[in-house]
Homo-oligomer: A and B are copies of this chain.
Amino acid sequence: METVTAEETLNKKSNLPSRKELTKHFKTVRSFTEEITDPLEIEDYVIQVTESASPAKWHLAHTTWFFETFLLEKELEDYDPIHPQYSYLFNSYYLQTGVPHCRARRGNISRPTVKQVFEYRESINEHVINLIQNASEQQYEEWAPIIEIGIHHEQQHQELLMTDLKYMFAQNPLDISYKEVERPRVESVPELSWTSFEEGVYEVGHAGSDFGYDNEFPRHKTYIHDFELANRLVTNAEFIRFVESGAYGEPKWWLDEGFSTVRDDGWKAPLYWEKKDGEWYQFTLSGKQKVDPNEPVTHVSYFEADAYARWKGYRLPTEQEWEVAAEAVEISGPFADAGHLHPVALQSAKAGLKQMFGTVWQWTQSSYAPYPGYKPLPGALGEYNGKFMCNQYVLRGGSCATSKSHFRKTYRNFFHANERWQFNGIRLAK
């Protein structure tokens, strides 16, 4: 099997954007991060309410540190870091670049101030843009791929920024709205129907024509059995039936570890849900709202997705099945760019696979594992993906917090089976 690795794709000259394109892309993505933090008060930037959700200030600095560490410090001989301690404070988990500050203590750090962090961003931006403009041809070929990774890295953190802010605001008993926006509502959604796929050998994985993370490589053959995929996502109305059937108290629908989690953590419904006077409410980035029956259910764990599927007599798709099914569907959907801040209901009644992209991440039953022939990027960037290939599950499709320009059909997102604070939802298979 002749395969293309992530490293080769990144370094293929024909893939390189022009300097102008790259500058624009860099600026656009960096600005979008600051658009996201625009509605915040200074106080909102600082707080960490749980180990897995970082302060907004940290996201702003860490995405900047990424360019400083993997580009400026590594490639520029006379580079003088903005602050000698930033590389300790704003490293996330790259052990090959030094021991990072403890993740659980990111919220213990009041300084640098928000203003100083914005200055840090500004200063690194100038450096990077300078580099793009003034690099020699050979340098540009080397540096442009790193800048592209940095841009995509920042886009991943934009999604975390939104979900971490949501989690933080939800802890506050004062009913806070990050930003008031209206979402398009519908009267009803189409019935569940199924698209069939035939057994056989298929190819999945990134073909190498443009940017991709190392975990999407190499493209490879896989044997898929007959399967059917649901036309749309599971809705809140459907999930409420599961909740109200008493399923959270019935072990037979659950994985063993799932049922322990339900019991130990006192889960009774998806994250952010609360029943008051017979009505379900949920916390959204636009404040507390009634649960809309037609919107897709979100903020569910793998355990809940899996239990729901079992309760219905179906199952979750594998990531290979999902990717094969996605092949014929055009990428469109309410991505982050749409600005809804929440997954919206299916707006169309047409047949075929809908809501495949940009609504909620769709849990697959696939454990996050290396593709056959997988090679991590060399050096510390190899820690980006590979070392997490254990005890996590793959999600596909992007969400309402994912930038459209960040997404690919081969994109593999991954979280632990008990995690719920991302915009994750359910598509059924059988």
Contact = CB atoms under 8 A, between A and B. Distances in A.
Given A95-B252, A168-B108, A391-B417, A43 B41 contact: no
A172 B43 contact: no
Contacts of A225: 1, 220-221, 372-373
Interface in A161-207: 168-169, 171-174, 176, 199, 201
Interface residues of A, number: 65
Contact of A223 (B101, B222, B259, B389): B222
Contacts of A95: 251-252, 259
A105 interface: yes
Interface of A: 1, 41-47, 49, 57, 83, 85, 88-89, 93, 95-96, 101, 105, 107-114, 168-169, 171-174, 176, 199, 201, 220-223, 225-226, 251-252, 254-259, 302, 365-367, 369-370, 372-373, 383, 387-391, 417
Nearest to A368: B367
Contact of A89 (B93, B173, B201): B173
The 3 closest A-B pairs by CB, nearest first: A367-B367, A95-B251, A223-B223
B223 A43 contact: no
B85 A226 contact: no
Q: Which of A44, A223, A389 has the most CB of B within 10 A?
A: A223
Nearest to A175: B85
A48 to B, nearest CB: 8
Contacts of A366: 369
A367 to B, nearest CB: 3
B417 A390 contact: yes
A57 B44 CA distance: 13
Contacts of A176: 111
A172 B109 contact: yes
